[in-house]
Amino acid sequence: MFQHQMIIVKLKSSNLVLFDFEPLDKTSPLVAATLLLGGRVPGRLRSRELQSVPRLREFEDTANLKFRRNSVLVGNAKEGTTLASIDRINGEWDCNLRLLRNDCRHYCAKIINDVC
C-alpha cells in the first residue's frame, strides 16, 4: 500500500520546517490511475514553517508519519543549512512524480541525505 511521507527538519535558527512532495491534483481519479499504472504526473514541492512538532491527531488524515508519543520525529539540519540552501535542492528536483521512482519517499530521502 502506498502512503504519503513528509519530513520535518529543525534548522539551527530554531525553525521547524515540514517538507513534502505530492501530485498537483492529488484528489483526481485520473492522477491516481496514472500513478498506479506506472505513469508520471506533475507534482509540487511544499514546505511550511511550524511553531511546534504536530501531535498525531493533527495528521491522522494525511500521512504515514513516524510518531513517538504523538510527535513526529524531527531531523536536525547540518550546520549551515538554511531555507535558501533547501530551496536550491528543491530547484534541482524533478517535479514529475512517479511512484516507486520519483515520489515523496525519494524526496524525503534526498532531504535527509543532503540536509540532516
Residue pLDDT tens, the chain, 116 long? 567 888 888 888 768 888 889 999 999 999 999 999 999 999 999 988 888 777 655 444 444 444 443 345 567 888 888 888 888 999 999 999 999 999 998 998 898 888 88
Overall number of domains in the chain: 1
pLDDT score recorded for residue 81: 87
> Nine-digit cell at 28?
483526481
Instruction: Say if 11 falls within a structural domain.
Output: yes
Asked whether residue 12 is domain-assigned, the answer is yes
Residue 49 domain flag: yes
Burial of 97 per CB tally in 10 Å (0-12, 13-18, 19+): buried
| Domain assignment of residue 103, yes or no | yes
Q: Which domain holds residue 18?
A: 6-115
- Indicate whether 70 belongs to any domain: yes
Question: Is residue 100, in this structure, part of any structural domain at all?
Answer: yes
Q: What is the reported pLDDT for 55?
A: 64
Residue 25 resides in a domain: yes
Asked if residue 1 is part of any domain, the answer here is: no
